[in-house]
Structure 1
Amino acid sequence: MKYLKYLVILVAFATRIMKPSAQINDKLTVSLQPGDPMPDVNINLRNYPFASARVSDFRRKLLIFDFWDITCKSCIQSMPKMEALQKQFNDRIQIILVTKSTDAQVERLFTRSAIARDCSLPSIIGDTVLTRLFEFHSVPTHVWIDEQGIVNQFMGPYTTQKTIETYLSGRKLNLPIKKEYRDFNARSPLIKEGSGRQLKHLQFYSAIFKKIDDDGGRVSSITDSVNQIAGYKFVNLPVLMLYQYAYITSELSPDYRYLQIALEMDNSGRLIRPSDKNDGEALAKWDTNTLFCYESSVPFSKRSVLSDLMRRDLEGFFGFKANVEKRKMPCIILDVVDSAKMNRPLPTVDYPGNSAVPIKFKATNQPLLVMLNYLKDKLYYQNVPVICAIDKLTNVTVALKSNPKDFDALSAELNQYGLSLYKEERFIDVLVLRD
């Protein structure tokens, strides 16, 4: 009776130990990472004293699984190196080759590859267990299991004499963890793959969109030194405006509106918005066909390439070649006629008949640049650039009441402050677009 009691206990204990392994072998798919305990699974082996073994049989040594495939040339070529490492470190490590390829496929490989045929390392062929424990799809992949049965490394082919020596000496290895997905869609654009899960790796991009579902007209330049990125974002802008933004510079024209454009192409009218504001259908059609978005993002250290990148992108997509050339064009000139009047104190009493008119712009001992920006903004309707013939840092004192749309009245009022505003043709920088 005592013998039977011991037998029952032994069978029950063995059943408790073996059952989890059977569940792992048949059903389990997980994604083990360094620090996780390695399941004590059964493995079938070639080139080993026993036909099968358990992971726990290799405790007290570093266990290395080298996952490979019959189609992986580098995997096969590295087999002699792995054999040499096994011989060098002897019983301190155990390297086991692992492949999902079938017996028949491996046998066919042996007929044409002496390297694979002559390799004496223990091997698992037709694996259906280990590959389900680690999430990857490319080979070679190396997994290290430490002496306590804990996953130590999950990585690419970084098993070398140096890395093994570092580990065996007790020093910490700084090797990247392999990060791959079983469901990786190789046919999907990377920005869409896995519902955008790859976007965190994006370093440098530029993109052109047709009109998106937004009112648009959004313009932004990103210069983020904290997150180390820089870029442009233009939403639903006309093609010509995108070109203007791409070519503005502090030397040429810091405001896209004042960079003149000349179109030398057939059917240039398609780029110009219909002038009839009552034809809603024509305006809507033009917006749909001619409004675009542009976005770019680059590392902060490469922010100087943004304008050149945008120029190449626009030419590559729209096909219009752009050059900045000197052309004689109508301009509005701001000049000085009497410098003594430019910075006089404003009168305390206004001239008769004008006291009730509100002041539209006032500057007291401020740089001329402040007033110049006001004039550029208000004279934009003239569709010609405003050129300053005076030092922009010269201080002025003015109080302007004239309606900016009354050019003659504005010019006469500026004359009271020693300034002259007139129209004249001059050679200026013009952005020329050609087919």
Structure 2
Amino acid sequence: MKKLTIPVVVGRLCPGFYDGVLMIFTFFLMVLAFSANRVSAQERRPADELGVGQMLPDDLWDVPFSSLRVRGTGVVGGDGSVVDGSVVGGSGFEPSVFRLRELKGRLIILDFWATWCGGCIAGFPKAKKLQERFGDKVSFVLVNNEDPVKAERLLSRRLAENGEVFRYVNSDTLLNRLFFKRLIPHYVWIDGGGKVMAVTGGDELTEENIAGTLSGSEGVTGIRNVLDIDRKLPLFSSPALPGLGLMKYSLLTKGKVSGLPSGFLWRKDKVTGRNSGMAITNLPFWYIYKKLFVEFLIKQKDFHGSDRLVYEGRDMHLLQDTFFNYEFSVSGPLIPRLDSMMLADLNTFSPFRFALEKRRVRSLSLVVVDSLKLPRAKLGMKVMVSGVAGDFGGAAEGRVGGIGAADGGAKRRKVRFEKVRLRELVYLLKEKGLISDTVVDGTFSDVVVSLELWGAGPMGDAGDWLLSGLNRQLSRFGMRLTEGYSVLNYGVIRDQVVNLN
């Protein structure tokens, strides 16, 4: 195969490794590295990007990448174990140089990760197990393009705590350019001859898939390659789509899509800056409707009411466990009608129907009975739970919610509410597990308070508060919880009714 010359980008080079001529050459490589970083920041598609089915350029096998090795050991085996040395006691790393040629002939899996990526780090134990399972047939290479000190600090901690030893590429720009993806972690599978077999997410890292890849090309037909989707564009659309002339865009797909995160992304109108749409990716409809309901409550200044979302249907699995992707966007004069149009669209094409309803329900209301006793504080908000002491016992008289105090007594926890608005306090009492019934604010006050209350230990069989006991404490601060009924906003999800006539 004809050799392809590629620019070598190396984060740190060992002193004395190159002669004077190559040191001058390194200067120009640094210039190329800065250019590569600018390209990455702008998310342009690299001209020399390698795709599935392509071969690694010959030059790439011998690029000296900045790497790490376990301090005081020397050699790392193909399965990731330390050959001559021990990692017991948490010995750290020292700078080294790594070349892909060291692994030629085996399946190489490049693991692109970052220190801030929880999903990336959560995948390390799985990679370690697979590397140990397949021995010298498979090698994972962790590729990171951050500050090498930051990466080394995290890897050293993982080494001490979990004994995780891999091949490493640090301060990288070259591999990130050749295998560009917006989402991490992603894994590049390269066979022994240098062919790119797949570029996947973590779900595809299984013993079955690796064994199939090692046995031949037929074994990889079921592996799903990760898509590289730019969510700044309408989902799955062509870059040539005339976005400025887009009056309405709607899309709904069922099933998880590898390459998309789970979450919400508002669309913004370029002229007014107002919300003109929303992209919802890899989420069940329960979370989609919860998001829409919370947005409604915020506009109604009815905060802390997401627990008032209820399902009155039969298919909880479809609602809570099945992933969907949904986008709805409008422009111009349609923007003020965004919420109602999006809800109508969902109620037409989704498996469910959603409605906003007023319901009269039993509730607890926090009221002020003596404003002079209020523990006033300066403006600010900080909620802190601390301390476990004493025993909480007593009869179940006046219990709040469905869980009562333990018969023999339970450990109590002290909850400190520091610098909170009075109208928020009742919702924080519920959030921190002191009460479980529906709650409403009866103070209608922005007075800022700080106070400490005592409650039972972890919620469970020995968990909830007695209303009478909680009120005895609140009375010292001029407040009280009263039982009654309230008319509140509820979000109600029902199954879609299909008319077959």
TM-score (norm 1): 0.41
TM-score (norm 2): 0.36
Kindly name which structure, 1 or 2, has the bigger radius of gyration based on alpha carbons: 1
Greater share of residues in helix = 1
